[in-house]
Structures are given as structure tokens and as C-alpha cells.
Amino acid sequence: NGIAPEWVEWVDRWRATSTLQPSSRNRHHTYLLKAARWVTGTHPDCASPDQWTRELAAEWVAVVCRMNIGDWTQKDKKYLKHLGKPLSAKSRSHHLSSLSAFFRDIQEWEWIPRRFDPRRCFAVPRSLRALISPNPRVIADDLWAKLLWAGLNLTEADLTTSYKCATHYYPLAMFRALTVVWLFCGLRVDEIRRLRVGCTREQWNKAP
């Protein structure tokens, strides 16, 4: 409802052609229709993606950064418990990444002429990226005990194998070292990757 039929045809065509996972296609499909509903209501002369310009993309980025729950949706608003509250930073980021993926694909497939760079025009602003932070959760004691036991008793049989590769490129000692770092240092994946060679040292328990 409230979307130009031509826009719906473009979105459905992209959804039928994309090779993304079904869950990703469904999520993009929802955000693309929301953008189509916005452009149909505010710029009815741009009823097709091939009419989008850099200026229109910048306007959509500004709309997303100020978007609230329920804006440009077709759901009955009485069922939205959090109507009017600001969208989370991660949800706004998904809105922009969906438009970026859509325009990037249809440009690569030569469905429309390349008028702007979707990666740059739909990039998540720095002010929005700063609001996206880790969301740690407390792990139950029994689950943490299982993780500790599995990590400290890691063997070659625990590593994944396939018919194409019966052995592992990295030695078991490296997997064990990474497991110990993850269990006892409390570092995220990106922090572990930034560790420098030689940053660890042996610590001996000395008697008092």
C-alpha cells in the first residue's frame, strides 16, 4: 500500500534474482518497500530506481537517521507497542545497507545506469556507527563450565573437517592458544586479531 507499482516490480525482480540467503532477502525486501513507500509519498516523480540521484540518496540517509518506529510502514499502528520511539542504531544501519545492496546489484547487473556509488551514498554515517556498541550477555555458570572444559581439553577431533581437506592449515597448538585467549582474556574477535606477536609472557606462581 502506498507504493508505486513500478517500484514493487523492481524490488520483486531483485528478490527473485539475488543469491543472498532467504532471511537476508526477506529483511532487505521489507526495508526496500519502506524506502519505496517514502519516495512514493515525498517524490512521486521518482517512481523507479533508475530515477534516483545522489541528492535523493542523501535525503534518504537523513530520513533514516531520524526515523522512528512505525514511520513509512503499512502495518496497523495500533499493534505497534513502541510506536513513535526512535529506531535503534543497528536497525537504521540495516536500512541503509539494504538500499546499498539493492542499488549495487541492479547497477552491476546493468538494469539501471550508474549515476552514483551506492557504497558511498548509503554509507552509515560516523555519528550513527558510534551508537552501535557490543551487547554482552551474562553466561550461566553451568554453560561457562562446559565452555571452559571444552576449551582446555581441545583435541584434533574437535576441529572441523571436510572431504576436500582432511587436515588443517593451522596447527592444533594455535587453536588451543586462541581458545585460552578467548576464555581468559575477555577479548572480542577484532581485538584478538590485533594482538601483536610476542605480546604474551609466561607467568610463574611464586611461593610466598
User: Nearest Cα to 101, choosing from 115, 118, 116?
Assistant: 118
For residue range 140-170, what is the model confidence (pLDDT) as tens digits? 889 989 999 998 999 888 887 766 666 777 8
How far, in Å, CA of 105 to CA of 109, rounded?
Answer: 6
| pLDDT, mean of residues 178-203 | 82
For residue range 81-126, what is the model confidence (pLDDT) as tens digits? 777 788 889 999 999 999 999 999 999 999 999 999 999 999 999 8
How far, in Å, CA of 153 to CA of 147, rounded?
Answer: 10
Residue 165 is predicted with a pLDDT of: 63
Does the predicted model carry a pTM greater than 0.85?
A: no
For residue range 4-58, what is the model confidence (pLDDT) as tens digits? 889 999 999 999 999 998 889 999 999 999 999 999 999 988 878 999 999 999 9
Beta-strand runs (E) in the chain: none
Residue 208 is predicted with a pLDDT of: 52
Q: Let me know: does 39 contact 8? Beta carbons within 8 Å.
A: no
